[in-house]
Amino acid sequence: MPTQAQHDQAIQQLIANPADSATAHRLLQLAREDPAGAQAAHGRVEPPPPAIPLDVQQLPFKRHNLMMPFSPKQIAMPRTLEELVAIVQAAAVAWEPIKSIGDGYGFANTGFTKGCLIPTVDGLNRILTVDREVLKAGVDADHLCKFESGATVELIGAHLWGLGKAVLNQPGYEKLTYVGTMSSGGHGSGTWCGPLSEHARALHLVTLDENGKAVQFQVELSNGISDPAKFAEKHPTLELIQNDEMFRACTVAMGCLGIIYSATIEVRDAYNINENRTKFPWAAVKARLPQLLADQGPGKRLHSIEVWLNPYPVDGQVSCVLGERRETQDAPRGARALVIEYGGPEFLYRLLAWWIEHHPSAVPVLIDAAITATQAQDVVMNATKGLNFGAPNLAPVTASACGVPSADIGNLVDALIAWFQARARDTESYMTSPIGLRFVKAATAHLSPAYGRDTCMIEIPTLLGTPRARDTLDRYHDFLFQNYNGRPHWGQVNDMPGDRLKALYPKLDSFLESFRVLNPRGFFDNAFTEQMGFRKT
């Protein structure tokens, strides 16, 4: 195990020569060789804060990544559907706005409210039984999974794995709730498979009508899974709506159409993932991208790919790590790189934050060392683990992402690399984490970042403390919008003005029609709906 003296020596060497890639790699290697420290850092998951007293509204509120400048009037923890309905009704009587969240891991203002905040992960987190009696003939109930909206990807994955099943796709962090991630346009990876919204088959919604009365709907596609006659007979107080436009509004709605109590999704048979992470020059990966994207899907060579890119040249070259995933039934073997399994020791994040401020010219070699340290070959994991990013999710970052057309993505990324390099040169504003490229099939949800086009989600996490980070994220969105019709990920940092919506989302009018029907009195409006101008459109 390395000593503190070795760490200090490597730090002093890099201070003396911030552009020395060999010393940067040595520093990261020392971190990787400290498994006790790495595991300790990995185990420090911040618990949710206690509820704020009702009479303390001026204090800021924090829950994981959700940071509001004010505290909600109340934080409600329903544990049953009946309790949820009662809370929604009571909030309406008190004229309080209502917002449900998963566990507060999103970076956006979609979780803001001054009224009643409902973190569903604390109580509404159970796996539910699919009601086979109301399904249409021929619906494959064995490949459906129903759960409350607070159920996490981790919980759903473990349940399904025990049944020999797996989700069709998942986000890169297992602590996220499936419904919260889906509702903000979240996705997985794979050009053959759309975002999470495309896998939903039914949503049980609790909302308020024009008289302020709590009402419940089950919303499905017009050719949905439920038999209307059987459903009405068994659930006389739960209205079934089978309507394509409303369903496609509800799957990505940021909570502004009411509260999703439960979701039913399509699942598949279980499988394992064979993963290889290899460092290449970006130019080499760019040349391969068309074939890599074409090779994905059932029966093809690849399940999916990811690219993690350092936009700054080191030793004259822009580099990236290409992650290639294949489906397999092989037994688990091997292990991911230590930095993926356990993340970085806490000192490393403190060091990076200090470096950014005092020696910004060292950022390129530190990012290069970080992506180099993620390499591993021929690792086989179950799909739930293999589709997860791993411990880097716990790094102290703020994040933004933007969806762009995946056609000609290589040239688009070249332009983005040039933009980041120019920003670093002109203003010393650096990205301080690798840029992620993930690919998904076109979506049908009206406000999905992937609506109507095969999409590359470009993700730019930034370590907390990075100078001018928020301005960089804002200008990054501007650059991609102005040049490539980039659409922001609603669950991450998003400063987009609402006047861009019409140009970016062809089905905006249809979404707003559902918004007016399901949220007629504005009880589910919030900072996000105000930013987007939903009531004015």
Domain boundaries, the chain: 4-43+271-498, 61-122, 127-269+506-532
Rounded Cα–Cα distance for residues 242 and 217 (Å)? 10
pLDDT tens, residue by residue, 404-425:
999 999 999 999 999 999 999 9
The residues near 291 (Cβ < 8 Å, ≥ 6 apart) are none
Which pLDDT score, from 0 to 100, does residue 51 have?
A: 45
Beta-strand ranges (E) seen in 190-271 are: 200-208, 214-220, 239-242, 259-269
Which pLDDT score, from 0 to 100, does residue 1 have?
A: 62
Mean pLDDT of the region 110-126: 92
Helix (H) or strand (E) holding 93: helix 81-93
pLDDT tens, residue by residue, 451-486:
999 999 999 988 877 888 889 889 999 999 999 999
pLDDT of 530 > 60? The answer is yes
Q: What is the CATH number of domain 127-269+506-532?
A: 3.30.465.10
Mean pLDDT (the chain) is 89
Tell me how far CA of residue 159 lies from CA of 83, 154, 267, 404, in angstroms.
25, 9, 12, 34
- Answer whether 61-122 and 127-269+506-532 agree in fold: no
- Across 7-16, 241-250, 369-378, 485-494, least confident range: 7-16
pLDDT of 58 > 80? The answer is no
Which pLDDT score, from 0 to 100, does residue 503 have?
A: 94
Which pLDDT score, from 0 to 100, does residue 69 have?
A: 81
pLDDT of 514 > 80? The answer is yes
pLDDT of 24 > 50? The answer is yes
Mean pLDDT of the region 7-30: 75
Which pLDDT score, from 0 to 100, does residue 394 have?
A: 64
pLDDT of 36 > 90? The answer is no
pLDDT of 347 > 60? The answer is no
- Higher-confidence residue of 264 and 17: namely 264
- Across 82-86, 388-392, 439-443, least confident range: 388-392
Residue % of the chain over a pLDDT of 90: 66
- CATH (one of 3.40.190.10, 1.10.10.10, 3.30.43.10, 3.90.550.10) for 61-122: 3.30.43.10
In terms of Cα–Cα distance, which of 441, 443, 444 is closest to 510? 444
Tell me how far CA of residue 492 lies from CA of 109, 116, 200, 487, in angstroms.
8, 22, 22, 12
Do 103 and 63 contact (CB within 8 A), yes or no? Answer: yes
Rounded Cα–Cα distance for residues 487 and 447 (Å)? 9
pLDDT of 37 > 60? The answer is no
Do 373 and 70 contact (CB within 8 A), yes or no? Answer: no
Q: Report residue 388's pLDDT band, with 50, 70 and 90 as the boundaries.
A: confident
**Max mean pLDDT range (52-66, 426-440, 443-457):** 443-457
pLDDT of 239 > 70? The answer is yes
Rounded Cα–Cα distance for residues 378 and 359 (Å)? 37
pLDDT of 49 > 80? The answer is no
pLDDT tens, residue by residue, 186-230:
998 999 999 999 999 999 999 999 999 999 999 999 999 999 999
pLDDT of 45 > 50? The answer is no
CATH architecture group of domain 4-43+271-498: 3-Layer(aba) Sandwich (3.40)
